[in-house]
Structure 1
């Protein structure tokens, strides 16, 4: 996890991301696969990764909620997540699980059937991963901090995104 600059809605902002990608890279596995992911934290924030929807039957310490199943990964430290995909197929989500870091630290989990096994439905002609999100021109951590100080709700996002882009309804959507 590192800092890098992105420009969306004609606004350049430093974000936290995985492998300098927003949204983050897909995790692709097959049902029954053992998944091992080493997360190295190169930023000032504590962080953890939650594998949303993954059944953590005997690996609760790899589930990711900070202060619940694990301590967060501190600056310049690492953690190895180790779990097996059991009885699941489909598309799920991984995301940061501390504060509002999930605003930019997230990506898809794609679970394919075991080799030589078919989908429980007709094989699709084409598969396209779609990640819905929100974009904030300001740092989401600052937005939530301000909301906590005032007692009000956080400001709404500046744009909704599909695969990290706000779409053609917004000026500068592709810049």
Structure 2
């Protein structure tokens, strides 16, 4: 009896330690976080298709910054408008459960953010994972104001497929107009027709056609085919001939 009584306090202490450790381990696996982002709407000069123009961007980036969160996380995005246009942002594909005011369509769920003003989008990612995107949701500003949203599973929850051996950045397809996109949509509204066709498709903000082939508007002796750009002359490990003599200079 004396030995049992002496061991009783030790057993109680060990039991308390075990009970304290268990909820801590569970919480570390289930805890959700609040992800804070600062989006400054700014004008920036960007050159595409050998032409420079001023476009609306987020943080001076085109495409805009990537938002990363896990399922169950709270996302807080503070948007400050430094441009002369009204702006609003929409989180395309995010289920706005009890947070419809954060959805973003101007004049529908919110008044647009006026120049010099700010607005805080606050929503929780519920029951979804994958890659989505955000974009401006007023006028045609979404032509340059957009970016990816990456939603990861909760900590400790596996993907419903085999884990890839590596991760690549999101690939975003878009379009590029040499003209001011606000002028393009304004002209379409005046005529009642469709907007002018874009000048190029883009991959992550760059004209995608340049990734595939060089489109030349002059006829050359070597015809229209895949163009390989190599150094002039012959190198020890060079297997391709130098560029043809009539290849136009870029």
Query: TM-score of the superposition, structure 2-length normalised?
Result: 0.67
Q: Hey, what's the Cα distance between the residues in 1 that align with 2:76 and 2:50?
A: 37
- In structure 2, what is the Cα distance between the partners aligned to 1:170 and 1:164? 18
The CA deviation at 1:117 is 1.2
Which residue does the alignment assign to 1:26? 66
If asked which structure has higher relative contact order (CA below 8 Å, sep 6+), I would say 1
How many Å apart are 1:121 and its aligned residue?
Answer: 1.2
Aligned to 1:146: 187
Output the CA distance in 2 between the equivalents of 1:127 and 1:99: 34
* Higher strand proportion: 1
Aligned to 1:115: 155
Deviation string, structure 1 residues 112-139 (Cα, Å, up to 9, x no partner): 1111111111112222211000000111
* Gap regions ≥5 residues in structure 1: none
Is the contact between residue 16 and residue 105 of structure 1 (CA under 8 Å) also seen in structure 2? Answer: yes
2-side partners of 1:127 and 1:70: how far apart?
36
- SS of equivalent to 1:138: coil
Structure 1 counterpart of 2:142, from 102, 105, 116: 102
- Within a 5 Å distance, the mapping from 1:24-103 to structure 2 comes to 24-103=64-143
Give the Cα separation in 2 of the matches to 1:106 and 1:163. Answer: 10
Aligned residues: 172
Of the candidates 45, 56, 74, which is equivalent to residue 5 of structure 1? Answer: 45
- Conserved in 2, the CA contact under 8 Å of 1:9 and 1:170? no
Cα distance in 2 for residues equivalent to 1:151 and 1:84: 40
The TM-score with structure 1 as length reference comes to 0.95
Does the 8 Å contact 1:88/1:111 carry over to 2? yes
> Helix, strand or coil: the match of 2:56?
strand
Q: Which residue of structure 1 aligns with residue 35 of structure 2? A: none
